[in-house]
Amino acid sequence: MAQKLSPNEIRDITALLEAGKALPEKYRFVLFGDQRQVEMVWDGKTNAVSDVVLPFQVIEQVDEPRSESLINVQMGLFDVQTGRQLKGWSNKLIWGDNKFILSSLRKGPLNDEIQKNGGLKLVYIDPPFDVGADFKIDIEIGEETFSKEPSVVEELAYRDTWGKGADSYLAMLYERLTLIHSLLASDGSIFVHCDYRVESKIRMLLDEIFGEDNFRSKIIWKKDAVGKGAKKKARHWARTYDEIIHYSKSDEYTFNPQFGEVEEKQLNEFRYADPDGRKFKRTTLGDYSEASIKKFEEEGYIYVSSSGQKYKKYYLDEYTILRDSIITDIPGFGVASSSQERVNYSTQKPEALLRTIIESGSNENDIVADFFCGSGTTAAVCEKLNRKWITSDLGKFSIHTTRKRLIGVQRELKATNKNWRAFEILNLGKYERGLFIAKHTGLDSDTQLDEIQRQKDKAFEYLILQAYGAERIETSAVFIGTKFNRHIAIGPINLPVTRLFVEAVVEECRSLNVTKADILAFEYEMGLFPNIQNEARSVGVDLQLKYIPRDIFDKRAVQSGAVKFHDVAYIDAQPTVKGNILTIELSEYSVGYQQDSIDNAEVEVSKGSSRVVIDQGQVIKIDKSKDGIVKRTQLTKHWSDWVDYWAIDYDFENRKEIISIKNPVTGEIESKWTGDYIFENEWQSFRTKRERKLELVSTAKEIPNGELKVAIKVVDIFGNDTMKVITVKVGK
């Protein structure tokens, strides 16, 4: 209840408001009657969270093949011969903005599936710290390493997160934590990983969203177990630890005691068990009195051996040998270079750390989620611990890294005769996403753009057209330029080109009787190729898709004509059929990537050092001697050097891509075919940190008689995917 203001206070407040000045802090509680004694406030704080519900589309189903021949489908959850999952929950790897992923999980059709599987029990997140806009990823070519530059989407995400410093970071995290809270099961928990830079702020956010009474514990992870400490000249205690903050949603939550390495040895002593399975260890009665022994017998704490000897029972679930909340036996500062689990991801956390958290906060078959998945450690540990999982990331390279890692886990489980679940790669719905890209594309003529933003967009479009060597046109709602006899459309700046966008371009071609068109974009939606171009060709439109290079942001490069646009990658594959046995050979792959240029590198690289660049689709190492002599070495010796991963779907049109949409009025789930098919991953070969060799010919596969559409998907060293569909005839 707001307090009554005096006439003088009313006069002062009115004068300040009329002058457009801020009110003194003392009026905050007086005017608004806020009962909270402590609250975290920042510029732009709002309690509003995203309520957007977008459909999830399964673009790939991944399940490592278990036989060289066709698998005979069994009736159970898992194939009894191979361990391959045949039905039930499939784990979810989602590419996209986690804000929209969370809001869609919360209110969309997929929530029904989550609830049927027990609800979301545990969330672990390791949100980004303010450590600079460095999204570079190390890429290996032979014996050399170079850095992959961040995508435009990742750079924009960083600016949104840290553009206003702590204020924008807190706004980003507050909304996501609020969405996570609403998505968690009533007996669910969250573990938030952070360091000294943001721990205090995150703790206050969690207090506000989850409630102070639901704070459970704080794990101190001492990453440097040997105590290297701070540098000699440091003026502070060594910052050799991270913190993992644990909150529950209510008083009901899962907690399974964890045991450290030393205590593991003691666990072997608990080798006895009651008929109900309750474990205990035994000790001699020693100097216990007769009265004490009688009381132990009444309470069930006496064990009698086969020889009639009495012992005192100590039950495991009553024995306090828990792991301490200060973890010192799991090394950090990056996973060791010699480790089997290392995937060359800078923020990768040790699996042992995640195992401790997941085992403590969940049980087998529970659903666990991580919405900043990075290299996929949470998902990998969940798979090994028989937890169901949902994980997501904005970066396409992160999704690809996680895909390879999870296939590796499936192979490990197969080798040890253990079961595994399939996982799906999903992205957010292509059609409804048009609502968000309209202001950047001009496809929605009813959208009212801010005049300043409209002028900026137009100026940027002119810059792209200038770099592409095209002329501006004003006569189309979709096309903005022409080059020779081809019409030009430009995709959104801050989102991948979607099917909705491409369909609008094709429809405009048909209405204008245009037969040739180019789409220029920074990024294309995963799984978009090649169907969309084939569909355009079927209605008489020659559609070319090209990438806009990062050089477009350098006006000097544009003015000098140095900006090179490259086509979406080209692949070729050759089938060989002998009877009913099919093999596929990956025979060609070509790209036209550009990252920096040879000329720039030769000028900028200092004497006695080197730089790796990508110039016109080739990776070139520039060495400059101490005498200033420049040497060029082409690292991509063969087209296959660009291929990081390739996979085969032997019956591509076997499974339609269906989206589920919840009717906002009736609440009923409506299904719709997108016109595409799900890529069912049945065979794959890929490079790992330890195994750099890539098989270019698939294992022989037995397939039935008839005509099949076989899809070949290639993912390059940047994480970009391209797909080709070929027709294979088997038998007469």
Residue 610 sits in the same domain as residue 647: yes
33 domain residue, yes or no: no
Considering the chain, what percentage of its residues have pLDDT values greater than 70? Answer: 76
Could you read off the pLDDT of 293-307 as tens digits, one per residue?
A: 999 999 999 999 989
Domain-embedded: residue 142: yes
Amino acid identity of 136? K
Q: Characterize the bridge pairing of strands 581-590 and 701-702.
A: antiparallel
Domain harbouring 162, CATH code: 3.40.50.150
Query: Residue written as tokens 């600079």?
Result: 132
HEC profile of 162-176: HCCCHHHHHHHHHHH
Give the separation between CA 642 and CA 619, rounded to whole angstroms: 9
State the DSSP code for 424.
Answer: E
CB distance 141 to 717 below 8 Å: yes
Distance CA 547, CA 718 (A): 13
Q: φ and ψ at 8, to 5 degrees?
A: -65, -40
Q: Residue 294 contacts by C-beta under 8 Å, 6 or more apart in sequence? A: none
Is residue 37 assigned to a domain? no
Residue-level pLDDT at 595: 66
- 580 and 706 fall within a common domain: yes
The pLDDT score that the predictor gives to residue 142 is: 61
pLDDT attached to residue 49: 85
Question: Among residues 280, 305, 310, which one has the least CA distance to residue 293?
Answer: 310
* 479/614 same-domain check: no
Could you give the count of Cα atoms lying within 13 Å of 536 in the half-sphere of its Cβ?
28
CA geometry: angle at 140 spanning 138 and 143, to 5°?
A: 130
Tell me phi and psi for residue 388, to 5 degrees. Answer: -75, 150
Q: Per the structure block, which two tokens stand in for 47?
A: 């309690």
Do both 78 and 175 map to the same domain?
yes
- Mean pLDDT for 371-394 is 93
Residue of 654 and 358 predicted with greater confidence: 358
Nearest to 704 by CA among 553, 577, 516: 577
Whether the predicted pLDDT of 416 surpasses 70: yes
Same domain, 382 and 452: no
d(CA 105, CA 108): 5
The per-residue pLDDT for 672 is: 83
Q: What is the largest CA-CA distance in the chain?
A: 104
The single residue listed with the structure tokens 């990768």 is 348
pLDDT band for position 361 (50/70/90)? Answer: very high
- pLDDT band for position 41 (cuts 50, 70, 90): confident
C-alpha span between 632 and 622 (Å, rounded): 5
In the DSSP assignment, the letter for residue 539 is T
In a domain, 20, yes or no: no
What are 442's two structure tokens?
């001009």
Q: Are residues 692 and 602 in the same domain?
A: yes
The count of domains in the chain is 4
Contacts of 630 (CB under 8 A, 6+ apart): 602, 622, 623, 624
| Residue 562 CB contacts under 8 Å (≥ 6 apart), including other chains | 551, 597
223 and 270 belong to one structural domain: no
Task: State which of 23-37, 404-418, 420-434, 539-553 shows the largest mean pLDDT.
Answer: 404-418
Q: Is 391 helix (H, G, I), strand (E, B) or coil?
A: strand
Last residue of a domain, one of 428, 444, 465: 428
178 confidence band (pLDDT: 50, 70, 90): very high
| pLDDT above 90 coverage of the chain, percent | 30
Instruction: State yes or no: pLDDT of 323 exceeds 80.
Output: no
**Taking Cα atoms as reference points, which of 26, 32, 23 lies closest to residue 1?**
32
Taking the CA atoms of residue 352, residue 357, residue 359 and residue 364 in that order, the dihedral angle to the nearest 10 degrees is: -110
> What are the tens digits of pLDDT across the range 495-518?
678 888 999 999 999 999 999 999
Q: Which amino acid is at 234?
A: A
Q: How confident is the model at residue 434 (pLDDT cuts 50, 70, 90)?
A: very low
Q: 3-state DSSP call for residue 465? A: helix
- Residue 253 pLDDT > 90: yes
State residue 519's pLDDT score: 94
Structure tokens at 78: 């898992």
Dihedral angle over CA of 343, 348, 353, 358, nearest 10: -90
Domain span at 282: 261-318
Query: Do 570 and 589 touch, CB atoms closer than 8 A?
Result: yes
Q: What is the pLDDT of residue 557?
A: 67
By CB neighbour count within 10 A (0-12 exposed, 13-18 middle, 19+ buried), where does 228 fall? exposed
Pairing assessment for the beta strands 326-327 and 215-222 based on DSSP bridges: parallel
Q: Which of 360, 395, 398 is nearest to 379 (CA)?
A: 398
Query: Based on the domain organization, do 654 and 583 belong to the same domain?
Result: yes
Whether the pLDDT of residue 343 is over 80: the answer is no
| Residue 362: predicted pLDDT | 96
CA distance 725 to 480: 32
Compute the C-alpha angle 208/209/214, nearest 5°.
85
Average pLDDT, the chain: 80
Residue 262: band (very low, low, confident or very high) from pLDDT cuts 50, 70, 90: very low
Q: Residue 316's pLDDT is what?
A: 78
Which of 437, 408, 438 has its CA nearest to residue 423? 408
Query: H-helix or E-strand containing 517?
Result: strand 516-521
Three-state secondary-structure class, residue 714:
strand
Burial class of 321 by CB neighbour count within 10 A (0 to 12, 13 to 18, 19+): middle
Six token digits for residue 353 = 């750390």
Question: CB within 8 A of 536, min separation 6: which ones?
Answer: 502, 506, 509, 542, 543
Q: What is the reported pLDDT for 527?
A: 64
State the Cα–Cα distance between residues 537 and 724, nearest whole angstrom: 15
Residue 412, domain member (yes or no): yes
Q: How many CA atoms lie within 13 A of 144 on its CB side?
A: 18
Out of 208-222, 244-258, 263-277, least confident range? 263-277
Same domain? For 265 and 184 the reply is no
Between CA 442 and CA 386 the distance in angstroms is: 47
**What is the residue-wise DSSP string for 16-31?**
HHHTTPPPPTTHHHHH
Q: pLDDT, tens digit, for every residue of 124-151?
A: 999 876 543 345 556 666 666 666 555 5
- What are the distances in angstroms from CA 346 to CA 128, 332, 336, 375? 12, 12, 11, 9
Q: Which of 318, 350, 367 is the last residue of a domain?
A: 318
In a domain, 15, yes or no: no
Are 548 and 520 a contacting pair, CB within 8 Å?
A: yes
Q: Report the first-to-last Cα separation within the chain, whole angstroms.
A: 84
Query: What is the H or E stretch that residue 277 is in?
Result: none
- d(CA 593, CA 568) in angstroms, rounded, equals 9
**Residues 699 and 638 reside in one and the same domain:** yes
Contact of 562 with 543, CB cutoff 8 Å: no
At residue 68 the predicted structure's pLDDT band, cuts being 50, 70 and 90, is very low
CATH number of the domain to which 535 belongs: 3.40.1350
546 or 122, which is more confident: 122
On the question of pLDDT at 446 being above 50, the answer is: no
Structure tokens at 731: 């038998």
Residue (of 724, 693, 691, 725) closest to 709 by Cα position: 725
Asked which of 567, 591, 625 is the last residue of a domain, the reply is 567
The answer to whether position 289 is within a domain reads yes
- Residue 134 three-state SS: coil
State residue 67's pLDDT score.
46
Asked, for residue 3, whether it belongs to a domain, the answer is: no
CA 428 to chain centre: 13
Provide the pLDDT for residue 462: 84
Contact by Cβ (8 Å): 588, 706: no
pLDDT at 199: 87
| pLDDT at residue number 344 | 54
Residue 699 DSSP label: P
Cα(412)–Cα(417) distance, integer angstroms: 9
Q: What is the mean pLDDT of residues 265-288?
A: 85
Do 80 and 104 share a domain, yes or no?
yes
Instruction: Give 365 or 159, the one with higher predicted confidence.
Output: 365
Q: Which pLDDT score, from 0 to 100, does residue 712 have?
A: 94
Select the more confidently predicted residue: 719 or 361: 361
Q: Indicate the pLDDT class of residue 74, thresholds 50, 70 and 90.
A: very low
Model confidence pLDDT, tens digit, residues 517-536:
999 988 787 667 667 888 89
| Highest averaged pLDDT of the listed ranges 15-19, 245-249, 591-595 | 245-249
Name the H helices within 485-630: 499-512, 531-538, 555-559, 598-604
Do 310 and 335 belong to one domain? Answer: no
Rounded to an integer, what distance in angstroms lies between the CA atom of residue 695 and that of residue 684? 9
Cis, peptide link before residue 530, omega less than 30° from 0: yes
Q: What is the mean pLDDT of residues 581-593?
A: 87
